[in-house]
Amino acid sequence: MVARLRRYFDIRPGEGLPVLLSFSYIGVVIASYVLARAIRSGLFIQAYGPFALVYVAAASPVVLSLFVPAYTILAARLGSRLVTTATLLFFSLNVLVFWYAFNHEPTPRLTAVFYVWVNCFGVIAPVHAWSYASSLFDTRQAKRLFGLIGSGASLGAIVGGFLARMLVEPLGGSTSLLLVLAFLIMLATIVVTVANVRIRRRTSMRVSVSSVRPMQTARAIAKSPYLRLIAATIFLTAIVTQWTGLQLSLVTSRHFNSEATALTRFNGTFTLALGIVSFLVQLFATSQALRKFGLAVTGQLSGPGEADISCPPQLLMTRLAG
Protein backbone atom coordinates (compact mmCIF):
# COMPACT_ATOMS: atom_id res chain seq x y z
CA MET A 1 0.00 0.00 0.00
CA VAL A 2 2.75 2.43 0.97
CA ALA A 3 4.74 1.53 -2.13
CA ARG A 4 1.71 2.22 -4.34
CA LEU A 5 1.17 5.61 -2.74
CA ARG A 6 4.84 6.50 -3.20
CA ARG A 7 4.64 5.59 -6.89
CA TYR A 8 1.36 7.45 -7.42
CA PHE A 9 2.63 10.66 -5.81
CA ASP A 10 6.15 10.15 -7.19
CA ILE A 11 7.84 10.28 -3.78
CA ARG A 12 11.44 9.23 -4.31
CA PRO A 13 13.99 7.75 -1.87
CA GLY A 14 14.95 10.20 0.87
CA GLU A 15 11.84 12.36 0.38
CA GLY A 16 9.39 10.43 2.56
CA LEU A 17 10.21 12.01 5.93
CA PRO A 18 10.48 15.62 4.65
CA VAL A 19 7.14 15.23 2.85
CA LEU A 20 5.47 13.72 5.92
CA LEU A 21 6.73 16.40 8.30
CA SER A 22 5.98 19.26 5.89
CA PHE A 23 2.49 17.84 5.29
CA SER A 24 1.92 17.51 9.05
CA TYR A 25 3.35 20.94 9.90
CA ILE A 26 1.23 22.76 7.35
CA GLY A 27 -1.83 20.70 8.25
CA VAL A 28 -1.63 21.40 11.97
CA VAL A 29 -0.99 25.12 11.41
CA ILE A 30 -3.99 25.45 9.11
CA ALA A 31 -6.17 23.43 11.50
CA SER A 32 -5.15 25.86 14.26
CA TYR A 33 -5.99 28.89 12.12
CA VAL A 34 -9.36 27.52 10.98
CA LEU A 35 -10.34 26.72 14.57
CA ALA A 36 -9.15 30.14 15.75
CA ARG A 37 -11.10 31.84 12.96
CA ALA A 38 -14.30 30.02 13.89
CA ILE A 39 -13.88 31.02 17.55
CA ARG A 40 -12.99 34.66 16.90
CA SER A 41 -15.87 35.33 14.51
CA GLY A 42 -18.51 34.04 16.89
CA LEU A 43 -17.15 35.91 19.90
CA PHE A 44 -16.66 39.19 18.05
CA ILE A 45 -20.05 39.24 16.32
CA GLN A 46 -21.77 38.46 19.61
CA ALA A 47 -19.99 41.41 21.25
CA TYR A 48 -20.08 44.04 18.50
CA GLY A 49 -22.24 42.82 15.62
CA PRO A 50 -21.14 42.04 12.04
CA PHE A 51 -20.77 45.62 10.79
CA ALA A 52 -17.90 46.25 13.24
CA LEU A 53 -15.85 43.64 11.36
CA VAL A 54 -14.88 46.36 8.88
CA TYR A 55 -13.01 48.32 11.55
CA VAL A 56 -11.28 45.46 13.31
CA ALA A 57 -10.06 43.99 10.01
CA ALA A 58 -8.29 47.28 9.27
CA ALA A 59 -6.33 47.03 12.52
CA SER A 60 -4.56 43.82 11.53
CA PRO A 61 -2.21 45.34 8.90
CA VAL A 62 -1.20 48.02 11.41
CA VAL A 63 -0.23 45.41 14.01
CA LEU A 64 1.56 43.31 11.39
CA SER A 65 3.54 46.34 10.23
CA LEU A 66 4.95 46.57 13.76
CA PHE A 67 5.49 42.85 14.28
CA VAL A 68 7.17 41.91 10.99
CA PRO A 69 10.22 44.24 11.33
CA ALA A 70 10.81 43.00 14.88
CA TYR A 71 10.52 39.38 13.74
CA THR A 72 12.90 40.03 10.83
CA ILE A 73 15.57 41.44 13.15
CA LEU A 74 15.26 38.45 15.49
CA ALA A 75 15.37 35.96 12.61
CA ALA A 76 18.48 37.63 11.19
CA ARG A 77 20.29 37.51 14.54
CA LEU A 78 19.09 34.23 16.03
CA GLY A 79 18.26 32.16 12.95
CA SER A 80 14.86 31.33 11.54
CA ARG A 81 14.67 27.83 13.04
CA LEU A 82 14.88 29.08 16.62
CA VAL A 83 12.60 32.06 15.96
CA THR A 84 9.97 29.92 14.20
CA THR A 85 9.81 27.49 17.12
CA ALA A 86 9.79 30.32 19.66
CA THR A 87 7.03 32.13 17.75
CA LEU A 88 4.76 29.08 17.77
CA LEU A 89 5.42 28.57 21.48
CA PHE A 90 4.66 32.26 22.05
CA PHE A 91 1.36 31.95 20.14
CA SER A 92 0.38 28.90 22.19
CA LEU A 93 1.01 30.76 25.44
CA ASN A 94 -0.98 33.71 24.07
CA VAL A 95 -3.99 31.44 23.63
CA LEU A 96 -3.77 30.25 27.23
CA VAL A 97 -3.71 33.90 28.36
CA PHE A 98 -6.80 34.60 26.22
CA TRP A 99 -8.56 31.58 27.71
CA TYR A 100 -7.86 32.79 31.24
CA ALA A 101 -8.96 36.33 30.42
CA PHE A 102 -12.20 35.23 28.73
CA ASN A 103 -13.10 33.09 31.75
CA HIS A 104 -12.13 35.55 34.49
CA GLU A 105 -12.23 39.08 33.05
CA PRO A 106 -14.34 38.99 29.87
CA THR A 107 -14.84 42.34 28.11
CA PRO A 108 -15.94 43.30 24.58
CA ARG A 109 -12.50 44.81 23.96
CA LEU A 110 -10.93 41.42 24.62
CA THR A 111 -12.86 39.93 21.69
CA ALA A 112 -11.53 42.72 19.44
CA VAL A 113 -7.96 42.07 20.56
CA PHE A 114 -8.42 38.35 19.97
CA TYR A 115 -9.84 39.01 16.49
CA VAL A 116 -6.76 41.00 15.50
CA TRP A 117 -4.50 38.36 17.06
CA VAL A 118 -6.13 35.61 14.97
CA ASN A 119 -5.67 37.65 11.79
CA CYS A 120 -1.98 38.12 12.57
CA PHE A 121 -1.56 34.44 13.45
CA GLY A 122 -3.27 33.52 10.18
CA VAL A 123 -0.63 35.42 8.22
CA ILE A 124 2.51 34.61 10.20
CA ALA A 125 2.12 30.90 11.01
CA PRO A 126 1.16 29.65 7.50
CA VAL A 127 3.95 31.71 5.92
CA HIS A 128 6.38 30.10 8.37
CA ALA A 129 5.09 26.65 7.44
CA TRP A 130 5.29 27.19 3.69
CA SER A 131 8.70 28.84 3.96
CA TYR A 132 9.92 25.84 5.89
CA ALA A 133 8.54 23.45 3.28
CA SER A 134 10.15 25.42 0.46
CA SER A 135 13.53 25.23 2.24
CA LEU A 136 13.44 21.41 2.18
CA PHE A 137 13.00 20.89 -1.55
CA ASP A 138 14.54 22.23 -4.74
CA THR A 139 12.44 23.52 -7.65
CA ARG A 140 12.05 20.16 -9.38
CA GLN A 141 11.03 18.44 -6.16
CA ALA A 142 8.57 21.21 -5.35
CA LYS A 143 6.88 20.76 -8.74
CA ARG A 144 6.36 17.06 -7.97
CA LEU A 145 5.56 17.25 -4.27
CA PHE A 146 3.91 20.56 -3.39
CA GLY A 147 0.49 19.41 -4.61
CA LEU A 148 0.65 16.57 -2.08
CA ILE A 149 2.12 18.77 0.65
CA GLY A 150 -0.51 21.43 -0.05
CA SER A 151 -3.25 18.87 0.54
CA GLY A 152 -2.08 18.92 4.16
CA ALA A 153 -3.52 22.44 4.35
CA SER A 154 -6.87 21.20 3.09
CA LEU A 155 -6.81 18.30 5.54
CA GLY A 156 -5.98 20.77 8.29
CA ALA A 157 -9.03 22.83 7.32
CA ILE A 158 -11.16 19.70 7.61
CA VAL A 159 -9.75 18.92 11.06
CA GLY A 160 -10.12 22.51 12.29
CA GLY A 161 -13.69 22.74 11.00
CA PHE A 162 -14.57 19.36 12.47
CA LEU A 163 -13.21 20.33 15.90
CA ALA A 164 -15.16 23.60 15.88
CA ARG A 165 -18.36 21.84 14.84
CA MET A 166 -18.18 18.86 17.18
CA LEU A 167 -16.58 20.29 20.34
CA VAL A 168 -18.03 23.77 20.81
CA GLU A 169 -21.22 22.57 22.50
CA PRO A 170 -19.84 19.60 24.51
CA LEU A 171 -17.04 21.80 25.88
CA GLY A 172 -19.48 24.49 26.94
CA GLY A 173 -18.93 27.30 24.45
CA SER A 174 -16.48 29.03 22.15
CA THR A 175 -14.01 30.13 24.82
CA SER A 176 -13.45 26.54 25.97
CA LEU A 177 -12.20 25.72 22.46
CA LEU A 178 -9.21 27.94 23.19
CA LEU A 179 -7.64 25.07 25.12
CA VAL A 180 -7.93 22.89 22.02
CA LEU A 181 -6.41 25.70 19.98
CA ALA A 182 -3.46 25.99 22.36
CA PHE A 183 -2.89 22.23 22.07
CA LEU A 184 -2.89 22.38 18.25
CA ILE A 185 -0.35 25.20 18.15
CA MET A 186 1.83 23.33 20.64
CA LEU A 187 1.56 20.26 18.40
CA ALA A 188 2.80 22.37 15.48
CA THR A 189 5.74 23.42 17.65
CA ILE A 190 6.59 19.78 18.31
CA VAL A 191 6.36 18.86 14.61
CA VAL A 192 8.66 21.67 13.48
CA THR A 193 11.10 20.86 16.31
CA VAL A 194 11.29 17.23 15.18
CA ALA A 195 11.76 18.42 11.59
CA ASN A 196 14.60 20.73 12.64
CA VAL A 197 16.37 17.83 14.34
CA ARG A 198 15.79 15.13 11.72
CA ILE A 199 15.99 16.99 8.40
CA ARG A 200 18.72 19.07 6.81
CA ARG A 201 17.44 21.93 4.69
CA ARG A 202 18.50 22.41 1.09
CA THR A 203 18.18 26.20 1.32
CA SER A 204 18.57 28.60 4.22
CA MET A 205 15.68 30.52 5.75
CA ARG A 206 18.00 33.01 7.43
CA VAL A 207 16.91 36.49 6.39
CA SER A 208 19.06 39.59 6.38
CA VAL A 209 17.50 42.74 7.74
CA SER A 210 18.33 44.74 4.65
CA SER A 211 16.68 42.30 2.27
CA VAL A 212 13.15 42.91 3.54
CA ARG A 213 13.05 46.68 4.02
CA PRO A 214 9.59 47.94 3.01
CA MET A 215 10.88 50.67 0.67
CA GLN A 216 13.21 48.25 -1.15
CA THR A 217 10.38 45.75 -1.55
CA ALA A 218 8.04 48.49 -2.82
CA ARG A 219 10.62 49.65 -5.36
CA ALA A 220 11.22 46.08 -6.53
CA ILE A 221 7.49 45.61 -7.09
CA ALA A 222 7.18 48.99 -8.86
CA LYS A 223 9.99 48.16 -11.29
CA SER A 224 8.66 44.75 -12.31
CA PRO A 225 5.46 44.45 -14.40
CA TYR A 226 5.17 40.84 -13.27
CA LEU A 227 5.28 41.78 -9.58
CA ARG A 228 2.86 44.64 -10.16
CA LEU A 229 0.34 42.26 -11.69
CA ILE A 230 0.75 39.81 -8.81
CA ALA A 231 0.33 42.64 -6.28
CA ALA A 232 -2.82 43.82 -8.07
CA THR A 233 -4.20 40.28 -8.12
CA ILE A 234 -3.59 39.86 -4.40
CA PHE A 235 -5.11 43.28 -3.71
CA LEU A 236 -8.29 42.49 -5.65
CA THR A 237 -8.50 39.00 -4.15
CA ALA A 238 -8.26 40.47 -0.65
CA ILE A 239 -11.08 42.91 -1.39
CA VAL A 240 -13.32 40.17 -2.77
CA THR A 241 -12.51 37.88 0.17
CA GLN A 242 -13.22 40.57 2.77
CA TRP A 243 -16.45 41.62 1.07
CA THR A 244 -17.69 38.04 0.71
CA GLY A 245 -16.78 37.30 4.32
CA LEU A 246 -18.70 40.36 5.50
CA GLN A 247 -21.79 39.33 3.55
CA LEU A 248 -21.62 35.83 5.01
CA SER A 249 -21.22 37.26 8.52
CA LEU A 250 -24.27 39.50 8.04
CA VAL A 251 -26.43 36.58 6.97
CA THR A 252 -25.24 34.15 9.63
CA SER A 253 -25.41 36.66 12.48
CA ARG A 254 -29.02 37.40 11.59
CA HIS A 255 -29.88 33.73 11.27
CA PHE A 256 -28.20 32.68 14.54
CA ASN A 257 -29.13 35.81 16.50
CA SER A 258 -25.43 36.71 16.97
CA GLU A 259 -24.99 33.80 19.39
CA ALA A 260 -21.31 32.89 19.67
CA THR A 261 -21.64 29.12 20.11
CA ALA A 262 -24.01 28.72 17.15
CA LEU A 263 -21.83 30.93 14.96
CA THR A 264 -18.71 28.97 15.88
CA ARG A 265 -20.45 25.70 15.05
CA PHE A 266 -21.66 27.03 11.69
CA ASN A 267 -18.24 28.42 10.77
CA GLY A 268 -16.70 25.06 11.58
CA THR A 269 -19.27 23.23 9.47
CA PHE A 270 -18.80 25.62 6.55
CA THR A 271 -15.02 25.28 6.58
CA LEU A 272 -15.29 21.51 7.00
CA ALA A 273 -17.33 21.25 3.79
CA LEU A 274 -14.94 23.51 1.87
CA GLY A 275 -11.97 21.61 3.24
CA ILE A 276 -13.29 18.25 2.03
CA VAL A 277 -13.75 19.56 -1.52
CA SER A 278 -10.37 21.31 -1.45
CA PHE A 279 -8.61 18.22 -0.08
CA LEU A 280 -9.94 15.98 -2.83
CA VAL A 281 -9.02 18.48 -5.53
CA GLN A 282 -5.58 19.14 -4.04
CA LEU A 283 -4.76 15.47 -3.50
CA PHE A 284 -5.93 13.98 -6.79
CA ALA A 285 -5.95 16.88 -9.28
CA THR A 286 -3.49 19.57 -8.24
CA SER A 287 -0.53 17.20 -7.82
CA GLN A 288 -0.97 15.90 -11.34
CA ALA A 289 -1.58 19.37 -12.76
CA LEU A 290 1.58 20.77 -11.14
CA ARG A 291 3.68 18.05 -12.75
CA LYS A 292 2.15 18.53 -16.20
CA PHE A 293 1.50 22.28 -16.41
CA GLY A 294 3.57 23.92 -13.65
CA LEU A 295 2.58 26.53 -11.05
CA ALA A 296 1.49 29.31 -13.42
CA VAL A 297 -1.32 27.38 -15.12
CA THR A 298 -2.32 25.34 -12.07
CA GLY A 299 -2.59 28.46 -9.89
CA GLN A 300 -5.10 29.97 -12.32
CA LEU A 301 -7.21 26.82 -12.19
CA SER A 302 -7.35 26.70 -8.36
CA GLY A 303 -10.59 27.74 -6.74
CA PRO A 304 -10.79 30.57 -4.17
CA GLY A 305 -11.57 28.22 -1.32
CA GLU A 306 -8.51 26.12 -2.12
CA ALA A 307 -6.23 29.15 -2.33
CA ASP A 308 -7.51 30.51 0.96
CA ILE A 309 -6.36 27.49 2.97
CA SER A 310 -3.32 26.33 1.06
CA CYS A 311 -0.47 28.60 -0.05
CA PRO A 312 -0.82 32.21 1.14
CA PRO A 313 -0.12 34.92 -1.47
CA GLN A 314 2.05 36.83 1.01
CA LEU A 315 4.64 34.05 0.76
CA LEU A 316 4.68 34.25 -3.02
CA MET A 317 5.20 38.01 -2.92
CA THR A 318 7.95 37.68 -0.33
CA ARG A 319 9.78 35.11 -2.45
CA LEU A 320 9.49 37.13 -5.65
CA ALA A 321 10.35 40.48 -4.13
CA GLY A 322 13.27 38.99 -2.18
Output phi, psi for 15, to 5 deg. -100, -10
- Say if residues 164 and 271 touch (Cβ distance below 8 Å): yes
302: left (phi over 0), alpha (psi -120 to 50) or beta: beta
| Residue 144 located in a structural domain | yes
Task: Determine the average pLDDT of the residues in 156-182.
Answer: 93
Distance CA 156, CA 153 (A): 5
pTM beyond 0.85: the answer is no
pLDDT for the residue 205: 52
| Residue 7 located in a structural domain | no
Choose among 43, 310, 78: nearest CA to 207: 78
| Residue 1 located in a structural domain | no
| Residue 5 located in a structural domain | no
Q: Which domain holds residue 221?
A: 15-321
Give 227: exposed, middle or buried? Use CB within 10 Å, 0-12, 13-18, 19+. middle
Task: Determine the average pLDDT of the residues in 85-90.
Answer: 91
Helix axes 139-167, 177-198, angle to 10 degrees: 160
| Residue 106 located in a structural domain | yes
Q: Which range (109-113, 146-150, 203-207, 261-265) has the least confidence?
A: 203-207
Is residue 99 pLDDT above 90, yes or no?
Answer: yes
Number of separate domains in the chain: 1
| Residue 202 located in a structural domain | yes
| Residue 10 located in a structural domain | no
| Residue 4 located in a structural domain | no
More confident residue, 110 or 278: 110
